Amino acid sequence: MKKILTVIALSATAFGLQACNTVRGAAADVESVGDCVDGVEGNC
């Protein structure tokens, strides 16, 4: 039973870390589009 709970806890942690990376990546993409619209050189 202890092994199952450990696996579940580790899986939940891994999924949580992946979600953070996804949000950061999305924010970077939105910022890049904003820079392209503003005419910042090298971002289009």
**pLDDT tens-digit profile of 3-38?**
989 999 988 888 877 776 777 777 887 887 777 777
How many residues in the chain?
44
Question: Is 43 or 34 the better-scoring residue by pLDDT?
Answer: 34
pLDDT at 6: 92
pLDDT at 23: 72
User: Is residue 44's pLDDT more than 70?
Assistant: no
DSSP string of the chain, one letter each residue: -HHHHHHHHHHHHHHHHHHHHHHHHHHHHHHHHHHHHHT-TT--
pLDDT at 15: 80
pLDDT at 20: 67
Tokens at 42, concatenated? 């090298």
